[in-house]
A and B are shown apart, each in its own frame.
Chain A
Amino acid sequence: EADIYQTPRYLVIGTGKKITLECSQTMGHDKMYWYQQDPGMELHLIHYSYGVNSTEKGDLSSESTVSRIRTEHFPLTLESARPSHTSQYLCASSEGRFTDTQYFGPGTRLTVL
């Protein structure tokens, strides 16, 4: 089982602020993912990475950006937060083959006022 961490767990912030959601994993997994989960429960993939210096957009268009400078670290940034960004953000990692299980972090619940 992967150890994957997300900070902060909860964030309440005003419109227009820049925020970075942190995600780190200690298992050396190549692939990392960001999901957005709306209140209706559905999970949407917004970003993923195959490895260092690799970032791709997911199925759901997002105004956020990501970076992957180190294997263990995959932060997500919103340059200017808006109320429409209010959601739960979940980070995950896997070894990389399609057979591999994705392991999830505890999530960040973001509220933009």
Chain B
Amino acid sequence: AQKVTQAQTEISVVEKEDVTLDCVYETRDTTYYLFWYKQPPSGELVFLIRRNSFDEQNEISGRYSWNFQKSTSSFNFTITASQVVDSAVYFCALSGDNNAGNMLTFGGGTRLMVKP
């Protein structure tokens, strides 16, 4: 069975602060993919990143960065110099190679509020 845990239900920061959203996963699959999605107040889920289990290199995209550590089964997401537009719910998700249906296992989400 797969499981994704986002322990932080809600985070509130002031604009320009850095913030890290935690994601811990459990899987028995040898090959798996990890995802992050953003859900702004408008409601749609916006795909942010996909990483496979063989690539532990950290990734940076503008103010966003992701830290994948297999040793701790974590895939954390950092926003540098946060902005009000970053306010949203962020979901971490997992898909594994024994998962014939390409089912995503989602975490419970972290609501990020960035105050001006």
Bound pair (A, B): yes
Query: Roughly how many angstroms separate A41 CA and B91 CA in the complex, as a whole number?
Result: 9
Q: Is the beta-carbon distance between B33 and A98 smaller than 8 angstroms?
A: yes
Contacts of A102 in B (CB 8 A): 47, 102, 104
Taken together as a complex, chains A and B put the C-alpha atoms of A48 and B103 apart, in Å, by 9
* Chain A residues within 8 Å of chain B by Cβ, number: 27
B64: Cβ under 8 A from any A Cβ? no
Residues B99 and A106 in contact, CB atoms below 8 Å apart: no
Which of A96, A104, A106 lies in contact with B102, CB distance below 8 A? A96
CA distance A48 to B47 in the complex (A): 19
Q: Is the CB of A106 within 8 A of B42?
A: yes
Q: A97 to B89, Cβ gap below 8 A?
A: no
Contact of B91 among A43, A92, A94, A98 (CB under 8 A): A43
Chain A residues whose CB sits within 8 angstroms of the CB of B91 once the complex forms: 43
B8 in contact (CB, < 8 A): no
When A98-B33, A98-B95 are in contact, do A103 and B101 touch as well, CB less than 8 Å?
no
Interface centre among B35, B89, B109, B111 (most CB of A within 10 A): B109
Centre residue among A1, A102, A103, A106 by max chain B CB count within 10 A: A102
A sample of 7 inter-chain contacts (CB < 8 A) reads A45-B103, A56-B101, A90-B45, A99-B33, A102-B47, A103-B47, A106-B42
Report the 6 A-B pairs with minimum CB-CB distance, sorted nearest first: A104-B45, A41-B109, A107-B43, A106-B44, A98-B102, A43-B106
Which A residues are within 8 Å of any B CB, using their own CB? 1, 31, 40-43, 45, 48, 50, 56, 88, 90, 92, 94, 96-107, 109
